[in-house]
């Protein structure tokens, strides 16, 4: 039997951003438009990190981390502040890799980030 749950965590950073990735996404919404959820301002599009660390389905290798940093930078530069992660994202020795990479990547940005974090509890019968 498994019990699944999710929660939201808000993080803030006060460090200047890295030089941005030169590519800009087409404007799907005004970059300043956010969805208000109580005290939170959330980007209308989130960013999933399931593939980060998943060798079996996505062929992840640590050599991809610089490219993932550029993709993360591009998302943030285009107004995304909602990121989905989970402790089980990744396989084998890369279990939890998406969380580690997100932690590394947000250090270089100012602003607030919202993390949708999923976890499961397993019970033996």
Residue 34's DSSP bridge partners are: none
Residue 89 among the catalytic residues = yes
| Pair 97, 53: CB distance under 8 Å | yes
Question: What are the CA-CA distances from residue 70 to residues 37, 41, 77 (Å)?
Answer: 28, 24, 10
From 89, 117, 119, 122, active-site residue: 89
Of 29, 18, 11, 20, give the one whose Cα is nearest residue 77. 20
Which residue has 């107004």 as its token pair? 79
For residue 124, give both structure tokens: 């033996």
Q: Which residues are catalytic?
A: 89
């Amino acid at each position: 039997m498994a019990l699944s749950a999710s929660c939201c965590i808000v993080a803030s950073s006060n460090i200047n951003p890295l030089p941005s990735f030169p590519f800009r996404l087409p404007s799907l919404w005004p970059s300043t438009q956010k969805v208000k959820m109580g005290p939170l301002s959330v980007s209308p599009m989130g960013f999933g990190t399931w593939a980060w660390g998943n060798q079996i389905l996505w062929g992840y290798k640590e050599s991809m981390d610089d490219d993932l940093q550029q993709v993360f930078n591009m998302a943030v530069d285009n107004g995304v502040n909602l990121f989905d992660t989970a402790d089980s994202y990744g396989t084998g020795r890369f279990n939890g890799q998406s969380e580690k990479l997100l932690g590394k990547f947000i250090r270089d940005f100012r602003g607030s980030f919202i993390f949708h974090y999923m976890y499961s509890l397993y019970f033996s019968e």
